[in-house]
Amino acid sequence: MALGNATYGGGGGRILTVEERELLIQNTAELIARFEREREEIEKRQKEAEQQNRDKLKARESAVEMRAALVRLTPGSPQGWKKSDTPWSWSKPLSSIAYFTLNDGSKWVRTEHVDGFHMMMPWPNFNGWDEALPATVGTPDVQLGGYRIEKVAHAVAYMREHGNWGLVGGWRDVMGKHK
């Protein structure tokens, strides 16, 4: 009974070439040495590819860290990055704002904090602002002076349903039309 085609590499190996079959008969040690060199070359290429992947990953992580550092910069930082043009020093520079006028006449601005969360700020500030909006919009943050928004889509949906959608854009663009 035949044992099947001659292969190298176990169950998932490859069929030996005619030359390799001849070498198997004439010089088995040389054939094994050739297979070892092939294996070493494959392992070398795999290690090089893994190192390239690690280098790419490290470069990406470095870029992400640099970008995150830029985002965390506060207005007036020594690096000279642009200050937020909103009245709130913690507002993320160059981020958009949204302006809303509710049916009760109150006016609100949605802005982004430098730490990445959003706030709904009364504009202008008024007594009782912290009881003016439901939990759907957010949670009052007395220290910052507005509502900390958990889900921006829910907050914006409430503001649109209970008032007039204002504008979205930069502070100067939006507020220049609402002075």
Q: Are residues 62 and 109 in the same domain?
A: no
Look at residue 145 and tell me if it is in a domain.
Answer: yes
**Six-digit token string for 130:** 């912290």
Look at residue 164 and tell me if it is in a domain.
Answer: yes
Distance, CA of 101 to CA of 90 (rounded, Å): 23
Q: Are residues 61 and 108 in the same domain?
A: no
**pLDDT tens across the length of the chain (179 residues):** 566 666 666 666 778 899 999 999 999 999 999 999 999 999 999 999 999 999 988 888 887 777 666 655 544 444 444 566 788 889 888 888 899 999 999 999 999 999 999 999 998 889 999 999 999 999 999 999 999 999 999 999 999 999 987 778 888 877 776 55
Look at residue 158 and tell me if it is in a domain.
Answer: yes
Q: Are residues 114 and 163 in the same domain?
A: yes
Q: Is the dihedral angle over the CA atoms 125, 128, 130, 133 positive or is it negative?
A: negative
Domain count, the chain: 2
Q: What is the pLDDT of residue 77?
A: 44
Q: Are residues 107 and 64 in the same domain?
A: no
pTM: 0.54
Q: What is the pLDDT of residue 164?
A: 82
Q: Which domain holds residue 170?
A: 97-175
Look at residue 83 and tell me if it is in a domain.
Answer: no
Tens-place pLDDT, residues 29-62: 999 999 999 999 999 999 999 999 999 888 888 8
Q: Are residues 160 and 104 in the same domain?
A: yes
Look at residue 40 and tell me if it is in a domain.
Answer: yes
The percentage of the chain sitting over the pLDDT mark of 70, rounded to a whole number, equals 81
Look at residue 115 and tell me if it is in a domain.
Answer: yes
Q: Are residues 109 and 154 in the same domain?
A: yes
Look at residue 163 and tell me if it is in a domain.
Answer: yes
Look at residue 78 and tell me if it is in a domain.
Answer: no
Q: Are residues 45 and 112 in the same domain?
A: no
Q: Are residues 116 and 171 in the same domain?
A: yes
Q: Could you tell me if 110 and 118 are in contact, meaning their C-beta atoms sit under 8 angstroms apart?
A: yes
Q: What is the pLDDT of residue 4?
A: 64
